[in-house]
Amino acid sequence: MRRNDRGNPGLGRVVRRVGMALTLVAVGPLAGAAGLQFSAGVEAGYEHTSNLYRTPQAPESAEFATGTGRIMLVDQTRTLYADVEAVGRWFDFPEGTPGSDFRPAADVFVMWTPVADTFGWRFTDSLGEIAANANGGLAPADRERVNVFSTGPDLRLPLGAGSYFFTAGARYSRADYENSPTDSDRLAGQAGLARELDSGALLSFNVLHERTEQDATGTDYDVSNVFLNYMLGGARGALDASVGVSRLSSGGDEPTGAFADIRLVRDLNASLSLAVDLVHRFGDAAAVFGRRQDLEPDIGSIANVQVTGQALRETAGDVGLAFTGRRTVAALAVSHYRERTYGGAIAATDRNGTDLAATVDFTLRPDFVIGADAVQRWWEDATSSSARASELRGRVTWQFIQRLGLSVGAEHYEQSNTNQDYTETRYFARLAWQFTRGEVTRQRPGFDAAARRRIQYGR
């Protein structure tokens, strides 16, 4: 599967998330050291906005400079696998407005396997931003930084000479918010019995328990899941499906319900790819943030996540189609989510919404590309009823010398909801340079590649 980047909203990171986890099914254990693969880029730009603060009346226009740095790194040795993507964006707003602002984002996965196919230790980190209010604008007050870190061991032991395996693992996770008092710690433990089928698929029975404790606001809670997991992968795609039952205990609420976490990637033909991500589970805003970060086309995007310290039930589905032709790359993605919050006396912050996104890039010649994006959102929450927002973008990119290109374009935003209506138009010009060493192939193999199974921890 190709990894679609910013040009394919809502699809590229679905493919990456599922494909990287399930590459294990297709390739089995990876031998030897693959060596360092590295990609880096920098970008400088100048932009104009007609409504910096996205206010309904007396909009304030502004011109500002921007700078972006990005790296992607994959390195594999006999015992260590590292996969890092990081981006930093700098905004130099005019004096008297927000001033300078730096916005980092990162997606880190490190796997250490001192005992091959038996014992490993994982480190993951997701750094990004969520919308602090309904604006979702450029100003710092409209955004909040979030970091979710997780680490812990995995164990796999064969049971006799057959195809059965015992699996176990543990995780410690920490969620930190820039401003909101909703930081939390999570401990999770899992045990399972897995069998490798003759077809090459893996079937497992798993028990998972999580304990989440809030630092300040919110309610501590426990989640217990019992589920079956089925994994199958091949040359044209992969399936990772978990289905079972789940129980939440939070502030006097003890609901029980179905548990589902299903991911599918499939090459329908030589040009068309399908990606599906479905989830129905108990968790919290930090778990939703991790999932939305995986689905965003760019790790620097502002994730659609509410700020709450309450436990919640997340029901969400994302479906994407991507077309890759000789001159045209296009994608269509639809997403629907519903969140029900729990926590005893704490006021509910339930919400639901639907997003529809489309993008197309057309290569007129090898050094000249034109593209367009369209996004439509509908949602309802505690402060908005029948709200909607639209985004339209157009761009032209010219790579006039090797590794150096110029991009110019325009973006238009429009929102209508209970609290605030606004429109904003931006114009931009950006100069970008990129360097690549090797082809950055991202597999994220685990210590348990031979057993071909993935432990699910929510974060």
pLDDT tens-digit map of 86-125: 999 999 987 766 778 889 999 899 999 999 888 999 999 9
Overall average pLDDT of the 61-74 stretch:
92
- Place 254 in a pLDDT band, splitting at 50, 70 and 90: confident
Element (H, E) at 352: strand 351-365
Q: What pLDDT, on a 0 to 100 scale, did the predictor assign at position 57? A: 83
Report the C-alpha gap between 262 and 221 in whole angstroms. Answer: 24
147-172 as b/e: b if 16+ CB within 10 A = bbbbebebbbeeeeeeeebebebbbe
Q: Per this entry, what is the length of the chain?
A: 459
Identify the residue with better confidence: 135 or 401: 401
Q: What pLDDT, on a 0 to 100 scale, did the predictor assign at position 344? A: 53
pLDDT higher than threshold 50 for residue 414: yes
Nearest to 9 by CA among 280, 377, 422: 377
Q: Are strands 62-76 and 80-92 parallel, antiparallel or unpaired?
A: antiparallel
Identify the residue with better confidence: 223 or 22: 223
Q: Is the domain defined by 12-318 classed in CATH 2.60.120?
A: no
Report the C-alpha gap between 444 and 459 in whole angstroms. Answer: 16
Please check whether residue 177 is in contact with residue 144, taking contact to mean a CB–CB distance below 8 angstroms: yes
Q: Measured between alpha carbons, how far apart are the two ends of the chain, in Å?
A: 24
Q: What pLDDT, on a 0 to 100 scale, did the predictor assign at position 391? A: 93
pLDDT higher than threshold 50 for residue 447: no
pLDDT tens-digit map of 17-38: 333 333 332 223 333 445 788 8
Domain residue limits, the chain: 12-318
DSSP character at residue 299: T
Three-state secondary structure call for residue 290: helix
The token pair at 144 is 């909040």
Overall average pLDDT of the 200-212 stretch:
92
pLDDT tens-digit map of 363-385: 999 899 999 999 999 988 877 67
- Place 10 in a pLDDT band, splitting at 50, 70 and 90: very low
